[in-house]
Every structure is written in structure tokens, then in C-alpha cells.
């Protein structure tokens, strides 16, 4: 199962797309830049990268991605949202009436760590990964509340920053901006499990 080839897309509407592609390839996946909805058909998993969540949400609506990504998720195909991608996946966003995808049972706060000048790096212990992962926080969101089915994988200063709900994975930070690709490797493992039918998220 470990050597099974999986095809993972990175939503290429905004954000650090090439860095995610590189990290996924290092994690042993075939990585594809996704700019059109029909590209979702051939994928085993999807990454929604950082950027500006409102802009990403608008572009997803404009190009027909909202319904198609919801269908992708309903089929049990894994999705990994980083930074703004975490906000896009959330069922509830503080100070905003409507969610974007509304898939993951959590309430999130945008820019909870402050503005760009308050960006920082840290070594973050993550459940399921042996050694701490190098995490880059840039105007990062926070997970404020979670539903019963959501498992917290990492906290920073007692705040939730990485979580998983079945086939959905999120991180407040940017795992693609370092040479540490182990969180991408973790996600690729989720995708392999889905593909092999070993886990039904």
C-alpha cells in the first residue's frame, strides 16, 4: 500500500501552489495544479492552499468549484486545507454569515495570530508524526471550536492549529514553506488509505 501511486491536486486559484506541488512530490505523490473543475475527476486527493480566504472563496464560486469540491468530499476523497484553505473548509467562520465549502465541523477565526509582521516559525508536535514538524504561521487562522467527529492533531499555546475529521485535514500554518514535507506525507497516507479502500472516512 505504501508504494501505491496517488494523484493529488493543488487548487491553483491563489496561494503557494508550486511549493505544495513540490512537497507532495517529495512525499511520493503525483502532484497536479488544478485550474479547471474537470481536473478534479482524475484526482485521489486535493489540497486547498493558503492565500486570502475571501478571494479564494469568490474565485471558487466564479469557476464552479464550490459544488464540485463538495461532491469530491462526499465521495470520501481526502482534502487538505492549509491556512486560508482551513477557513474555506470550515462550517462556521467568525464574523461571516456564510461559510465557503462548509465541510468540516469547526468554527474558525481569520487572522487570529495578527498581521503579517507577527508571522513566526516554530517546531510543532503533531499527533501521528514522530518528530515535531517545522511550522510557518503567516497571518494564521485559529480553530475556535470543533464538533464531536473532529480530532485535534496539534496545538500552539493551547490553541488548536491542526485537526482532522475523517478524510478532511487542516492546518493553520503553511507546511509547504519549509523543506519538512512530513505533513504532506501524512496526507498522502490518508489518500492511499482511501484509494486502497482500507478506510472509509
Which residue in the block uniquely carries the three cell numbers 464560486? 61
Residue 53: inside a domain, yes or no?
Answer: yes
- Which tens digit of pLDDT belongs to each residue from 22-56? 999 999 999 999 999 999 999 999 999 998 899 99
Whether 200 maps to a domain, the answer reads no
- Domain assignment present for residue 201? The answer is no
Is 149 part of any domain? yes
Grid cell digits, residue 20: 505544495
Candidate list 20, 100, 167, 174, residue with the active-site label: 174
d(CA 1, CA 102): 31
Q: pLDDT of 83-96, one tens digit each?
A: 999 999 999 999 98
Query: What's the CATH code of the domain at 79?
Result: 3.40.50.880
Structure-block grid coordinates of residue 29: 505523490
Told to judge if 151 belongs to the known catalytic residues of this protein, a careful annotator would answer no
pLDDT at 4: 75
pLDDT at 200: 47
**Domain assignment of residue 127, yes or no:** yes
Of 100, 165, 176, 193, which is the active-site residue? 176
> Cα separation of 77 and 44, whole Å?
6
Whole-number average pLDDT of the chain: 92
Question: Active-site residue among 83, 100, 167, 193?
Answer: 83
In terms of DSSP H, where are the helices of 27-110?
Answer: 53-62, 65-74, 84-89
Q: How many domains does the chain have?
A: 1
Q: How far apart are CA 53 and CA 88, in angstroms?
A: 6
Which domain, by its residues, includes 139? 7-195
Q: Is the pLDDT of residue 130 over 80?
A: yes
Q: What is the pLDDT of residue 198?
A: 43
84 assigned to some structural domain? yes
25 is catalytic: no
User: What band does 99 get if pLDDT is binned at 50, 70 and 90?
Assistant: very high
Assigned domain for 150 exists: yes
Per-residue model confidence (pLDDT) at position 192: 95
**157-179 pLDDT tens trace:** 999 999 999 999 999 999 999 99
Whole-angstrom distance, CA of residue 166 vs CA of residue 178: 26
Residue 139 reports pLDDT greater than 90: no
Judge whether 174 counts as a catalytic residue.
yes
Asked whether residue 1 is domain-assigned, the answer is no
Q: Euclidean distance between the first and final Cα of the chain, in Å?
A: 17
Amino acid at each position: 500500500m505504501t508504494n501505491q501511486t496517488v494523484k493529488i491536486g493543488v487548487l491553483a486559484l491563489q496561494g503557494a501552489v508550486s511549493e505544495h506541488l513540490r512537497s507532495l512530490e517529495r512525499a511520493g505523490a503525483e502532484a497536479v495544479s488544478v485550474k479547471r473543475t474537470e481536473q478534479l475527476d482524475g484526482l485521489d486527493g486535493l489540497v486547498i492552499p493558503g492565500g486570502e480566504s475571501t478571494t479564494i472563496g469568490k474565485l471558487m464560486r466564479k469557476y464552479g468549484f464550490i459544488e464540485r469540491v463538495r461532491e469530491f468530499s462526499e465521495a470520501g476523497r481526502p482534502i487538505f486545507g492549509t491556512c486560508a484553505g482551513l477557513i474555506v473548509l470550515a462550517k462556521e467562520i467568525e464574523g461571516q454569515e456564510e461559510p465557503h465549502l462548509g465541510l468540516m465541523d469547526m468554527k474558525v477565526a481569520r487572522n487570529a495570530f495578527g498581521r503579517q509582521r507577527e508571522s513566526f516559525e516554530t517546531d510543532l508536535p503533531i499527533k501521528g508524526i514522530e518528530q515535531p514538524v517545522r511550522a510557518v504561521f503567516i497571518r494564521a487562522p485559529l480553530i475556535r471550536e470543533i464538533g464531536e467527529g473532529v480530532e485535534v492533531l496539534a496545538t500552539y499555546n493551547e490553541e488548536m492549529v491542526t485537526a482532522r475529521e475523517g478524510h478532511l485535514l487542516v492546518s493553520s500554518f503553511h507546511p509547504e514553506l519549509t523543506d519538512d514535507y512530513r505533513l504532506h506525507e501524512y496526507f498522502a497516507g490518508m489518500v492511499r488509505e482511501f484509494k486502497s479502500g482500507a478506510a472509509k472516512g
